[in-house]
Amino acid sequence: MSGALVLLSGGMDSAVCLYEAIEAHGTVAVECLFFDWGQLAVEQERRCCSALCRAAGVAPQIEVELHFPYRGPLTDESLGMPRGRTPSQISGGGVEATFFPGRNLVMLASAFGIAAA
């Protein structure tokens, strides 16, 4: 492999991935990919991605906009984020309200296409 494409959300986990990729491939061979999928925190995440790219010395992130035909608490303020749950409610099983089906799969498929191209 001659380089790396890092899916950069602006959070701690993807920042670690960015620096691991730089260590393995060097700054010139690392590109970052940011997804705007309608998340409520998109502007904060975009700013963090830009700051991480600048701090790491890599090119500005490539930005991809995704459109999902459904919404959830992470994309629609009117649905409300679950708050104040007890530990037993959290560990009670079932699917969390913040689960966004297919999001990561679509992002990985898009990233694969970009990397392959």
Within 13 Å and on the Cβ side, how many CA atoms surround 65?
A: 3
Cα dist from 110 to 34, 46, 63, 98, 105, whole Å: 11, 18, 11, 22, 9
pTM of this prediction? 0.87
pLDDT (tens digit per residue) in 102-113? 999 999 999 999
| Residue 53 DSSP SS3 | helix
Average pLDDT over residues 46-74: 95
> How many residues are given for the chain?
117
Q: Residue 8 above 80 pLDDT?
A: yes
The CA distance from 104 to 100, in Å, is 9
pLDDT at 89: 81
pLDDT (tens digit per residue) in 32-53? 999 999 999 999 999 999 999 9
pLDDT at 1: 52
